[in-house]
């Protein structure tokens, strides 16, 4: 297992996934150690010269004009952490907590925060030894940073608060003692350096981006299987169409649909359909938008995710506390890098993109089960001519998909356009980024379930077309589903089927297996 080296400059989303979900160890780069020590020395010089430094020799927020006596500036840091530990709700998931801790450590390693090296080393030890602070998920407006979540993290570093260690919840002092870690003693500026930043919203964002990119690939697979199940028309995916409207995501999605359905004996060209129309006049010469516009819709989601990734990757290597120390220039400057608006906006964008992915998937589900729209498939995808009406088949799973899609729509309203002033109107415009990020994650989970339902319906539908006629990529996808869920021949409880396919999506096996087969080479 390789260590992830942090230096404040080069952390990647892949690194964050490795630490947060795979428990890879973390090391501090030597150049980062030197920067941290240099920054601390510079801050100490400011204090010796009795300079007024916000949050160091003054109070915080609306109390920023109050000068603190020198003998009480350390006490100020403890009070900051305790008073701002005001989060509520269930604890963050472990992977989010680990990502948050890593991102905070990387920001501190950048060398602009003025902390002691031992403080950074303590946080890294906690990551490596598995001391996970219990951080309530609600209570941050992501403006003067994620103050409450990061304060709850810092409490455990101080030997207070609560933490999970080796699968058990205990107080912070016990967790640190059992892990063999000495709690920190906060010095001037250190409380502020630890709790002022965007690390909660960014941690959620990194994981959401990773999972969204996998989900979009899953959506392309599901859409391809549905395209075949509904005897769709291939012309809409011709590269010539997409090259004259060259949005990168649209071009990639169209290419992936072509790869997945390559060799299919079920989908047809428009010329084949025209011949059918001349014979029977029962077929429209074009598919509905939920099939024909797959590249345009999923491509837009791809492009949204790509933009969000760029913003997130900038943020994870940024200095986001206040004030910032610039040792080379001998300056300590106050600004607003703690403000979460960049992340808040892209998390809202991600939520909107994921909502459209789920919406379109639900529309294909509805077509698959409707005998009037499914190009000859049995009603609700159940062969029940002998016992018609006795078995409901896939009728009710569409209800679930519709409910999830509707719930997503209610959450897709952007949180980033809202602001409630805080700190006696001193912090008068806030980002609500933590809300945007948590909403995006909930929309993501709902969309995973919707796609699981589409995959179940599409796999059932191709049983009536002949699974041996599937394209190269969709055949692999169909086989993976059938490894988990048998064909529905009579009514059974469907929740387990949905959960089983949902797990296949979430653990990455579904996309990885198709990619390993060198069939679905997605960018």
Say yes or no to pLDDT of 42 above 70. Answer: yes
Q: Which domain holds residue 439?
A: 205-514
pLDDT band at 27 (very low <50, low <70, confident <90, very high): very high
pLDDT at 424 over 90: no
Residue-wise pLDDT for 160-181, tens only, equals 999 999 999 999 999 999 999 9
Residues 228 and 283 in one domain: yes
Kindly indicate the confidence band of residue 225, based on its pLDDT and cuts at 50, 70 and 90: very high
Same domain as 412, residue 288: yes
- Mean of the pLDDT values across residues 424-449? 95
Name the band, by pLDDT with cuts 50, 70 and 90, for residue 519: low
Q: Does 423 map to a domain?
A: yes
Name the band, by pLDDT with cuts 50, 70 and 90, for residue 278: low
Rounded average pLDDT over 479-505: 96
Q: What percent of the chain has pLDDT over 90?
A: 83
70, 46 Cβ separation under 8 angstroms? no
Does residue 522 form part of some domain? no
SS3 content of the chain, % helix, strand, coil (to 5): 60, 5, 35
pLDDT band for 286, please (50, 70, 90 cuts): confident
Helix (H, G, I), strand (E, B) or coil at 194: helix
Q: Average pLDDT of 275-296? A: 81
Average pLDDT over residues 188-198: 94
Q: Please identify, among 149, 179, 197, the residue that sits at the C-terminal boundary of a domain.
A: 197
Flag whether pLDDT at 310 surpasses 90. yes
Active site residues: 54
Residue 519, in any domain of the structure: no
Side-chain-side CA neighbours of residue 2 (13 Å) = 7
Residue at a domain's end among 174, 197, 220: 197
What is the per-residue pLDDT for 231? 93
Cα distance between residue 106 and residue 280, in whole Å? 66
pLDDT in tens, 55-65: 788 877 778 77
State the pLDDT at residue 46.
84
Number of neighbouring beta carbons within 10 Å of residue 157: 26
Q: Kindly report the backbone phi and psi dihedral angles of residue 2, in degrees, each rounded to the nearest multiple of 5, phi listed first.
A: -80, 145
Averaged over 269-280, what is the pLDDT? 70
pLDDT of 521 strictly over 60: no
Residue from 74, 308, 94, 319 nearest 198 by CA: 319
The Cα–Cα gap between 340 and 199 comes to 9
Both 446 and 332 in one domain: the answer is yes
Q: Which pLDDT score is estimated for 506? A: 95
Instruction: Give mean pLDDT, residues 374-394.
Output: 85
- pLDDT tens-digit readout, 125-142: 999 999 999 999 999 999
Q: Of 197, 228, 247, which residue is a domain's last?
A: 197
186 within a domain of the structure (yes/no): yes
What is the pLDDT at residue 385? Answer: 64
Domain identity same for 71 and 92 = yes
Q: Longest C-alpha distance within the chain, in Å?
A: 93
Helices (H), 93-232: 94-109, 117-129, 147-157, 172-179, 190-195, 199-229
CA distance 144 to 142: 6
Do 223 and 172 lie in one domain? The reply is: no
Helices then strands, counting H and E runs in the chain, come out as: 20, 9
CATH of the domain at 269: 1.20.200.10
Rg (alpha carbons) of the chain, rounded to whole number? 27
Q: Are residues 228 and 335 in the same domain?
A: yes
The verdict on 193 and 209 lying in the same domain is no
User: Residues of the chain with pLDDT > 70: what percent?
Assistant: 96
The answer to whether position 310 is within a domain reads yes
179 and 220 both lie in a single domain: no
In a domain, 523, yes or no: no
CA distance 247 to 461: 32
Contact predicate 22/94, CB 8 Å: no
User: Residue 518 pLDDT > 70, yes or no?
Assistant: no
What is the rounded CA–CA span in Å between residue 57 and residue 66? 8
**Mean pLDDT of all residues belonging to the chain:** 93
Say if residues 431 and 416 touch (Cβ distance below 8 Å).
Answer: yes
Tell the burial category of 375 from Cβ atoms under 10 Å away from its Cβ (0-12, 13-18, 19+). middle
122 falls within a domain: yes
Phi, psi of 196 (to 5 degrees): -105, 100
- Whether residue 274 sits in one domain with residue 353: yes
SS3 293: coil
- Inside any domain, residue 521: no
- Give yes or no: residues 129 and 268 share one domain: no
Q: Are residues 158 and 40 in the same domain?
A: yes
Query: Does the pLDDT of residue 386 top 80, yes or no?
Result: no
What pLDDT shows up at residue 283? 66
Counting the structural domains of the chain, the total is 2
What lies within 8 Å, CB to CB, of 83 at 6+ separation is: none
CATH number at residue 92: 1.10.275.10
Lowest mean pLDDT among 33-37, 59-63, 120-124, 441-445: 59-63
Q: Are 115 and 189 in contact (CB under 8 A)?
A: yes
Residues 93, 213: one domain?
A: no
Task: Answer yes or no: are the C-beta atoms of 129 and 19 closer than 8 Å.
Answer: no
Tell me what pLDDT residue 520 has: 46
């Amino acid at each position: 297992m390789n260590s992830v080296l942090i230096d404040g400059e080069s952390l990647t989303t892949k690194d964050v996934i490795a630490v947060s979900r795979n428990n890879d160890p973390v090391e501090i780069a030597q150049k980062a150690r030197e920067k941290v020590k240099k920054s601390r020395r510079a801050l100490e010089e400011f204090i010796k010269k009795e300079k007024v430094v916000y949050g160091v020799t003054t109070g915080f927020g609306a109390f920023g004009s109050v000068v603190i006596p020198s003998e009480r500036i350390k006490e100020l840091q403890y009070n900051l952490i305790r008073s701002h530990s005001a989060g509520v709700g269930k604890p963050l998931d472990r992977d989010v907590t680990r990502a948050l801790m890593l991102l905070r450590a990387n920001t501190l390693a950048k060398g602009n925060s003025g902390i002691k090296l031992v403080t950074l080393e303590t946080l890294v030890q906690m990551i490596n030894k598995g001391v996970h602070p219990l951080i309530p998920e609600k209570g941050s407006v992501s403006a003067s940073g994620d103050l409450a979540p990061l304060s709850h993290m810092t409490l455990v570093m101080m030997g207070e608060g609560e933490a999970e260690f080796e699968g058990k919840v205990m107080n912070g002092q016990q967790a640190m003692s059992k892990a063999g870690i000495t709690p920190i003693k906060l010095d001037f500026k250190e409380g502020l350096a630890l709790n002022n930043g965007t690390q909660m919203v960014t941690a959620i964002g990194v994981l959401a981006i990773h999972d969204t990119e996998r989900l979009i690939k899953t959506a392309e697979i599901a859409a391809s299987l549905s395209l075949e199940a509904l005897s769709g028309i291939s012309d809409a995916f011709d590269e010539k169409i997409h090259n004259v409207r060259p949005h990168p995501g649209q071009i990639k999605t169209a290419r992936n649909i072509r790869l997945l359905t390559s060799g299919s004996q079920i989908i047809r060209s428009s010329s084949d359909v025209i011949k059918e129309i001349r014979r029977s006049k029962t077929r429209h010469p074009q598919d509905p938008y939920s099939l024909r516009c797959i590249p345009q819709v999923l491509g837009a989601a791809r492009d949204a995710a790509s933009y969000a990734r760029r913003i997130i990757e900038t943020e994870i290597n940024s200095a986001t506390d206040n004030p910032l120390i610039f040792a080379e220039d001998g300056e300590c400057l106050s600004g607003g890098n703690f403000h979460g608006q960049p992340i808040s906006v892209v998390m809202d964008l991600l939520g909107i993109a994921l909502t459209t992915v789920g919406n379109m998937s639900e529309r294909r589900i509805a077509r698959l089960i409707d005998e009037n729209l499914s190009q000859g498939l049995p009603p609700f995808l159940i062969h029940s001519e002998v016992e018609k009406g006795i078995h409901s088949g896939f009728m009710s799973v569409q209800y679930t998909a519709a409910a999830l899609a509707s719930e997503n729509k209610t959450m897709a309203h952007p949180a980033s356009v809202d602001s409630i002033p805080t700190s006696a109107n001193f912090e008068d415009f806030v980002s609500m980024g933590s809300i945007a990020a948590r909403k995006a994650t909930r929309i993501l989970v709902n969309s995973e379930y919707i796609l699981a339902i589409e995959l179940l319906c599409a796999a059932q539908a191709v049983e009536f077309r002949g699974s041996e006629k599937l394209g190269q990529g969709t055949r692999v996808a169909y086989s993976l589903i059938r490894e988990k869920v048998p064909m529905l021949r009579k009514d059974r409880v469907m929740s387990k089927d949905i959960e089983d396919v949902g797990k296949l999506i979430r653990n990455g096996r579904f996309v990885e297996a198709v990619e390993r087969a060198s069939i679905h080479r997605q960018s």
